[in-house]
């Protein structure tokens, strides 16, 4: 078993190595140039469509509204990476890693836009009237490469049980036990039942819950983070100095921070940025394809705000709290080492808030973010399996997914984490091939919408 763990870990490092990160960011840069910086020019209009207008024609084909599609995708994307992932990037690469997360997010918006355009354009209507779309459809229908679309669906359906299920329920169970003393089995039962209550009703049920739950979840976390930053207002100048200075110069070792090279700063910033917003992995366009719309560009403009909210807003606030509080260079008295992951974020919030409230907020954030990820990824896995095995596989899949929520809560998941990491990364390769090969279609749809070309 130890040899297998070693093999899977090395495979994960290979899959998530420099070539994939370059390909992910490079695709975003390529699409940014082809779309003439649409994510910058159209950002405010996109935010207005997503958060203010929010009206769609329910007569249009589709299962859920633009806003519900966005919230379902955000549910899957805003997760433990926004709390633990940002902290790991800063602990390993210094505050400058946050700058490279921003770079990844800004270019990733173009990738997310292109994914949604293709998802809506190449989606299909099932016999029951529901919509199905995503990379497996735009690869098979747009490129005619059924084998590559099938490969993506296999990777996504497996990743859904790992990164979108067991590792999330395990994080919730761990947070509940360490913060509130709740047994893992009890958390597993409650979480499995709560998941079943939502996902057994399908995408419309998932969308109703996430469109109510996700905005509250994100605003709650944002307010708490802003309060901590304001309380530690003396550290606000450090945010600007450290983030921009350390993005291009090595961070020296001091306190609990061991120092980092510029290469490490860039690597950890890009890697955690991609892990957090999932731009290029091909997951969120599955939700975008369910939106009620006849115009691929309209939904794509809404969809690209997902990366902005996830990385530029939520991840930034976590980073600001860690930097302003000074927690990133504090030493753990018990070990003498610096904090990292969720422990670092917890320490940062605890510095700024009285009593145990900081730890409770981080624990609640982890629980809510992880549960929302389970809901969003359940739909991604469902549509991937439906593509492979047909509609009859959906109901058994939903039941099995709920069972694995419980299994994840009560299990030790080091191997599962590693396997999930591998398949999550493998999803990107067929998706990026589809995006690059079909970039001309994305440009044509964009020009037709904005310029009637």
Report the pLDDT value the prediction gives residue 439, as an integer from 0 to 100.
Answer: 96
Amino acid 255: pLDDT: 58
Q: Which two tokens stand for residue 202?
A: 């399908």
**pLDDT over 80 at 149, yes or no:** yes
Q: How far is CA 103 from CA 83, 259, 430, in A?
A: 19, 22, 23
Which range has highest mean pLDDT (326-340, 402-416, 434-448)? 434-448
Q: Are 119 and 138 in contact (CB under 8 A)?
A: yes
Region 281-310: mean pLDDT is 92
Does 59 have pLDDT greater than 60? no
Asked if residue 76 has pLDDT above 80, the reply is yes
Average pLDDT over residues 310-317: 94
**Mean pLDDT (whole number) for 208-230:** 92
The strand pair at 124-125 and 131-132 is best described as antiparallel
pLDDT the model gives residue 258: 63
The residue among 137 and 167 whose pLDDT is bigger is: 137
Which pLDDT does position 453 carry in this prediction?
63
In the prediction, which pLDDT does 9 show? 78
pLDDT value of position 56: 56
pTM: 0.93
Most confident listed range (56-60, 242-246, 317-321, 422-426): 317-321
Kind and range of the H or E run holding 176: helix 167-180
Per-residue confidence (pLDDT) for residue 394, from 0 to 100: 92
Name the phi and psi angles at 243, rounded to 5: -65, -50
pLDDT band with cut points at 50, 70 and 90 for residue 30: very high
259 pLDDT band, cuts 50/70/90, is low
As a whole number, mean pLDDT of residues 87-98 equals 87
Q: Judge whether 405 and 189 are in contact, CB under 8 Å.
A: no
Average pLDDT, the chain: 88
Mean pLDDT over residues 228-252, rounded?
85
3-state secondary structure of 1: coil
Report pLDDT for 378. 95
65 with 56: CB under 8 angstroms? Answer: yes
Q: What is the pLDDT of residue 335?
A: 73
290 has a pLDDT exceeding 60: yes
Tokens of 280: 């290029």
Percentage of residues in the chain with pLDDT exceeding 70?
Answer: 95
Position 256 scores a pLDDT of 58
**For 114-123, 169-178, 329-338, 352-361, which range has the lowest pLDDT when averaged over its residues?**
329-338
For residues 425 and 20, what is the distance between their CA atoms, to the nearest angstrom?
8
Sequence-separated (6 or more) residues with CB below 8 Å from residue 273:
89, 100, 101, 102, 103, 104, 105, 108, 311, 315
Which residue is it, tokens 């090279």? 261
Q: pLDDT digit string (tens) for 225-238?
A: 999 999 988 888 88
41: pLDDT strictly greater than 90: yes
Q: Residue 183: which pLDDT band, with cuts at 50, 70 and 90?
A: very high
Q: What is the pLDDT of residues 357-402, one digit of tens each?
A: 888 888 888 899 999 999 999 999 999 999 999 999 999 999 999 9
* pLDDT at 162 exceeding the cut of 90: no
Of 213-217, 355-359, 440-444, minimum mean pLDDT range: 355-359
Which residue carries 């078993």 as its tokens?
Answer: 1
Does the structure show a pLDDT above 80 at 336?
Answer: no
CA-angle at 349, arms to 344 and 355, nearest 5°: 120
Structure tokens at 423: 């398949």
pLDDT of residue 141: 96
Domains and CATH numbers, the chain: 2-451 (1.10.4160)
Q: How confident is the model at residue 55 (pLDDT cuts 50, 70, 90)?
A: low
pLDDT in the model for residue 50: 87
> So what's the pLDDT on residue 319?
93
């Amino acid at each position: 078993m130890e040899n297998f763990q070693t093999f899977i870990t090395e495979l994960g490092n290979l899959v998530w190595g420099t070539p994939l990160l370059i390909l992910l960011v490079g695709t975003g840069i390529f699409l940014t140039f082809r779309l003439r910086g649409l994510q910058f020019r159209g950002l405010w209009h996109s935010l207005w469509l997503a958060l203010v207008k929010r009206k769609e024609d329910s007569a249009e084909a589709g299962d859920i509204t633009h806003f519900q599609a966005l919230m379902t995708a955000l549910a899957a994307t805003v997760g433990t990476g926004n709390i633990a992932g940002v902290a790991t990037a800063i602990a390993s690469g210094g505050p400058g890693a946050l700058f490279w997360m921003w770079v990844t997010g800004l270019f990733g918006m173009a990738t997310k836009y292109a994914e949604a355009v293709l998802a809506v354009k190449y989606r299909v209507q099932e016999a029951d009237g529901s919509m199905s779309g995503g990379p497996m459809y735009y690869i098979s229908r747009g490129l005619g490469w059924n084998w590559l679309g099938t490969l993506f669906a296999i990777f996504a359906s497996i990743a859904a049980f790992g990164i979108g299920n067991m590792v999330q329920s395990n994080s919730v169970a761990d947070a509940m036990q360490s913060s509130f003393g709740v047994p893992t089995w009890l958390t597993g039962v409650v979480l499995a039942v709560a998941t079943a209550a939502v996902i057994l009703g399908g995408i419309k049920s998932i969308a109703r819950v996430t469109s109510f739950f996700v905005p509250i979840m994100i605003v709650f976390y944002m307010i708490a983070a802003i309060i901590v930053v304001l309380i530690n207002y003396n550290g606000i100048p450090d945010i600007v100095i450290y983030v921009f200075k350390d993005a291009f110069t090595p961070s020296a070792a001091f306190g609990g921070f061991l120092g980092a090279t510029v290469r490490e700063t860039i690597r950890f910033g890009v890697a955690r940025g991609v892990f957090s917003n999932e731009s290029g992995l091909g997951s969120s366009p599955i939700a975008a394809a369910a939106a009620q719309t006849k115009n691929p560009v309209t939904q794509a403009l809404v969809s690209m705000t997902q990366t902005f909210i996830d990385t530029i807003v939520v991840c930034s606030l976590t980073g600001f709290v860690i930097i302003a509080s000074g927690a990133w260079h504090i030493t753990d008295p018990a070990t003498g080492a610096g904090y990292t992951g969720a422990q670092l974020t917890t320490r940062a919030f605890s510095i700024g808030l009285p009593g145990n409230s900081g730890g409770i907020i981080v624990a609640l954030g982890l629980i809510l973010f992880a549960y929302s990820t389970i809901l969003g990824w359940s739909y991604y896995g469902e549509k991937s399996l439906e593509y492979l095995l047909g509609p009859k596989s959906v109901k058994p899949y939903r039941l099995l997914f709920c069972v694995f929520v419980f299994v994840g809560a009560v299990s030790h998941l080091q191997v599962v984490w590693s396997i999930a990491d591998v398949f999550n990364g493998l999803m990107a390769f067929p998706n990026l091939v589809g995006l690059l090969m079909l970039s001309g279609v994305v440009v044509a749809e964009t020009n037709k919408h904005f310029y009637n070309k």
